[in-house]
Structure 1
């Protein structure tokens, strides 16, 4: 095997693929990146039986072939190379990499022991890459991280016609948002659960690629694939069982309050500086204002007041500061509306716009459980 590629294209491809390498591979070969070159193209790949990634770049090939080398080492090397063409060749059980005056000789692993990469499933539809990245990032903040509850570590994707709904919950908060997409088949409906971290990383990496192709295969070993430009990735789906999230969003409300999002974020950050672990940030709403306060046992106390347009009864409620900040940061609008039922039931955050006199500007809903307040 002998070929030459441009350094920046190589570094981008290796970085994209290396992001999916397992931290603790069950087999040594799964820590590797597979380089496959044919007449005019290099394919850089990784696979750990759960997630596969691939990227193709142009190559000037003298001799086709395959080589498997340590993925993280290759990523470190390609990132540090000078901006010169990079030449690869295989010498026995070694891969020789030359770039300008730099030369690296890396041990290879047996290609025959590497698992066959899964093929992309059948195309299900396409989405705008930038919009998909934005929506996924604002929903994934509510996904769980407890691996003993795998269904809560996933991000639910449902489609109905040209509407795609994404949802995530960790039992303490719930995030839901809708977006449009282009289904390959008008009548198809999708209900899948995708690992949230993988989906978040993939959506972010594919942003700017124009359109993302979403491919899906059903069944016990269901796969979902995402393609943007020359980048492709697949992952196994989680068990589709997921809480009936639409029923969790309150249909009635005791009061609503509209506030400036950034002002509220900054105020919460300030008062939370004295919060002990497990201490809520308290919000006391009355006509025209909200008082934020934290009473920390060891660090002291803090309070701050902000203007608030309250509609309905006065209310006093408390939230986990970080969960509250996650929701405010995901709203994505200058003004946020908080909707309340009672001080012991979940509140809902949604984006509003002062230009449209408080009307919701999109479908985003962030439901957050309150914390018990002192006294």
Structure 2
């Protein structure tokens, strides 16, 4: 087998696989990369048993063949090659890697013992790839990183005819985004870390989803993935979204982010980075206090509702995370000083975040 490929495209493909293939494992084969050289180019595949991934790298191929090599070592060699073109040659169990005067020889592994990765060929739903990536990125911050929190470590994906919704929560905050998507009704929970890898590989065009038994299959023109789903039932998040809104505040999202960031410098880290929000007479006053002093900022806002004034305390990081996906004007909707608050883009029904205030 001989293959000629640009260093840039091979490095990009290896970078995608390198993120999911473990560098150490009790099963050495799981640290390997499977390479299939065929008429499409180089098909790179790897797994960590929770996420299977396959990526096509365009290449000129002579005498197609397949082999496995140490993933991270191979990627490191390719990254450090000089020149723009890379030549790969398989002779028996030895892989030669050549570029710009350099040559490396790697021993390949046991191809027959490598786990068989099967990717579905049909699709149950077709979504806009960039919209799915944007939606997952918008809510990812709210998913928990704590192992004991089970389904909170995932992102719920709801498919309902003409629309889809992604939801994440860690019990203290919630984020959701709804977008147009055609497909059969489904509810599933994809691990947040798998969603991270999905976002990295999604580009323009369409992404095809296949719903299997405990597996979500993802296909694009270049990449195929199988993500093992989380077991369990996601809590009824609709119950925590406030309905009885007493005060709505509208202002520039960028201005609010900047102001919260400023006053949060002095917020007490041992008191959940508390920042006070005080709304009255068309003004939002932000204040934070810690061991080294106190800071405050005042912003002009539009306010409406049955309550003329309200004071709440929030974790500054939670507020900044909630505001992150919002461009233009932001709306804050308050039900009371101790009730969950809504943060959303003004006039945009797609994205919504819910943050629980800090108690006094």
TM-score, normalised by the number of residues in structure 2? 0.93
Tell me the residue number matched to 1:203. 199
- Tell me, yes or no, if structure 1 residue 294 matches structure 2 residue 288: yes
Cα deviation digits, residues 45-102 of structure 1 (max 9, x gap): 1012211111123333333322222212222232333343321123454321011212
TM-aligned CA deviation for residue 197 of structure 1: 2.4
What is the CA–CA distance in structure 1 between the aligned matches of 2:248 and 2:356, rounded to whole Å? 16
What is the CA–CA distance in structure 2 between the aligned matches of 1:231 and 1:292, rounded to whole Å? 46
What is the CA–CA distance in structure 2 between the aligned matches of 1:194 and 1:40, rounded to whole Å? 30
Contact 1:25 1:48 in 2 (8 A): no
Contact 2:119 2:225 in 1 (8 A): no
Tell me the residue number matched to 1:228. 220
Tell me the residue number matched to 2:255. 263
- Paired residue total: 356
TM-aligned CA deviation for residue 156 of structure 1: 0.5
Tell me the residue number matched to 1:357. none
Tell me the residue number matched to 2:245. 253
The 3 A distance-change label for structure 1 pair 148 and 200 is: same
Contact 2:251 2:329 in 1 (8 A): yes
Cα deviation digits, residues 96-153 of structure 1 (max 9, x gap): 1011212122233222222111322641111112211111111112111111122001
Cα deviation digits, residues 187-237 of structure 1 (max 9, x gap): x211000012221331232123x11111211x3xx2112222211111111
SS of 2:353 mapped into structure 1 = strand
> Superposed, which structure 2 residues align to 1:126-141 within 5 Å?
126-141=126-141
SS of 1:118 mapped into structure 2 = coil
* Matching residue within 339, 349, 353 for 1:362: 349
Contact 1:279 1:295 in 2 (8 A): no
SS of 1:190 mapped into structure 2 = strand
Contact 2:273 2:317 in 1 (8 A): no
Tell me the residue number matched to 1:348. 342
What is the CA–CA distance in structure 2 between the aligned matches of 1:38 and 1:201, rounded to whole Å? 25
What is the CA–CA distance in structure 2 between the aligned matches of 1:99 and 1:192, rounded to whole Å? 45
Tell me the residue number matched to 1:216. 211
The 3 A distance-change label for structure 1 pair 173 and 66 is: same
Tell me the residue number matched to 2:169. 169
SS of 1:141 mapped into structure 2 = helix
The 3 A distance-change label for structure 1 pair 287 and 26 is: farther
TM-aligned CA deviation for residue 39 of structure 1: 4.6
SS of 2:137 mapped into structure 1 = helix
SS of 2:176 mapped into structure 1 = strand
SS of 2:218 mapped into structure 1 = strand
What is the CA–CA distance in structure 2 between the aligned matches of 1:311 and 1:26, rounded to whole Å? 61
> Superposed, which structure 2 residues align to 1:38-117 within 5 Å?
38-39=38-39, 41-117=41-117
Tell me the residue number matched to 1:339. 333
The 3 A distance-change label for structure 1 pair 37 and 168 is: same
- Tell me, yes or no, if structure 1 residue 330 matches structure 2 residue 325: yes
- Give unmatched runs, 5+ long, in structure 1: 353-359
What is the CA–CA distance in structure 2 between the aligned matches of 1:10 and 1:245, rounded to whole Å? 43
Tell me the residue number matched to 1:355. none
What is the CA–CA distance in structure 1 between the aligned matches of 2:278 and 2:191, rounded to whole Å? 37
SS of 1:330 mapped into structure 2 = coil
What is the CA–CA distance in structure 1 between the aligned matches of 2:292 and 2:75, rounded to whole Å? 44
- Tell me, yes or no, if structure 1 residue 146 matches structure 2 residue 146: yes
- Give unmatched runs, 5+ long, in structure 2: none
The 3 A distance-change label for structure 1 pair 226 and 299 is: farther
Contact 1:195 1:237 in 2 (8 A): yes
What is the CA–CA distance in structure 2 between the aligned matches of 1:251 and 1:82, rounded to whole Å? 61
What is the CA–CA distance in structure 1 between the aligned matches of 2:40 and 2:344, rounded to whole Å? 50
What is the CA–CA distance in structure 1 between the aligned matches of 2:318 and 2:40, rounded to whole Å? 50
Bigger mean CA deviation after superposition, 237-246 or 66-75: 66-75
RMSD: 1.8
Tell me the residue number matched to 1:279. 273
SS of 1:250 mapped into structure 2 = coil
